Amino acid sequence: MKWALAGRLAAGLVLALAPAAFAAGHDIDCKDCHSVHNAKGAFIFSVQPFSGQTATGAAIKPDQIDALCLGCHNEETGIIPIDLKHSHPTGVQPGRIKVPDKLMRNGLFTCVGCHDPHPSNANYKYLIVDTNEGKDMGVFCAKCHPAQSDPDVLAKAEKASVTADPAQLSKPASAAPAPAAAPAATATAPAAADQKPVIKPAPKKQ
Mean of pLDDT values over 69-93: 90
Answer for the pair 75, 69: CB distance below 8 angstroms, yes or no. Answer: no
Q: Phi-psi region for residue 169, left (φ > 0), alpha (ψ -120 to 50) or beta?
A: beta
Q: Determine the pLDDT at residue 197.
A: 45
- Share the mean pLDDT of the chain: 76
Please, are residues 33 and 27 in contact by the beta-carbon 8 Å criterion?
yes
Residue 66 has pLDDT above 70, yes or no: yes
* pLDDT recorded at residue 104: 92
Domain boundaries, the chain: 19-84, 93-171
pLDDT at 12: 37
Residue 146 backbone dihedrals phi, psi, to 5 degrees = -65, -35
Check: CB of residue 129 under 8 Å from CB of residue 146.
Answer: no
pLDDT at 77: 85
Largest CA distance in the chain: 147
Across 149-174, b (16+ Cβ under 10 Å) vs e yields beeebbebbeebebebeeebbbeeee
| Residues 127, 101: Cα–Cα separation, whole Å | 17
Q: What does DSSP assign to residue 61? A: -
Kindly tell me if the per-residue pLDDT of 57 is higher than 80: yes
What percentage of the chain carries pLDDT values higher than 90? 36
pLDDT per residue as tens digits for the range 15-56: 333 344 344 467 788 888 898 898 888 888 888 899 888 888
Query: 7-19 as b/e, with b when 16 or more CB fall inside 10 Å?
Result: eeeeeeeeeeeee
Residue, of 100 and 166, whose pLDDT is higher: 100
